[in-house]
Amino acid sequence: MDSSLSIFRVAHSYLEGHLTLDDVQEWLVPRLGIFLIAPRSTPSELAGLFELGFADVAAGEADEKELQGLIGEFLREHQAIELGSAVHTASTNRLAMIACFVGTPQTTFKELEPLRVGG
């Protein structure tokens, strides 16, 4: 899976307690260059939030519970994400943004009832 999407899997695993903060840092640090390609993309913003969190926790300015709260809030606010695209648009010669959904989909449809024929 693409690292820019894998960061969401890593973040969810961290919040669920399957990964430690050290595990996240070990996974993220070698991949930081990937997130610099499209710094305004949602995955890059999440990587930046983790990086700031690593620094704050290490400096004693925040605790891990606060970081978990920030990561959880970020994931709730960014159910639709923007990814940087390697495809340049012809009219602007800039990176195109792609939206996709992460997390558990919110169901807005009810089961269909069969049509009643006749009376």
pTM for the full model? 0.69
> What pLDDT, on a 0 to 100 scale, did the predictor assign at position 79?
76
Contact between 52 and 44 under an 8 Å Cβ cutoff? The reply is no
The label of the residue with tokens 């669920």 reads 16
Separation between Cα atoms, residue 75 and residue 85, nearest integer Å: 21
Instruction: Give the tens place of pLDDT for each residue, 47-94.
Output: 999 999 999 999 999 999 999 999 999 999 987 666 665 554 444 444
Separation between Cα atoms, residue 18 and residue 47, nearest integer Å: 18
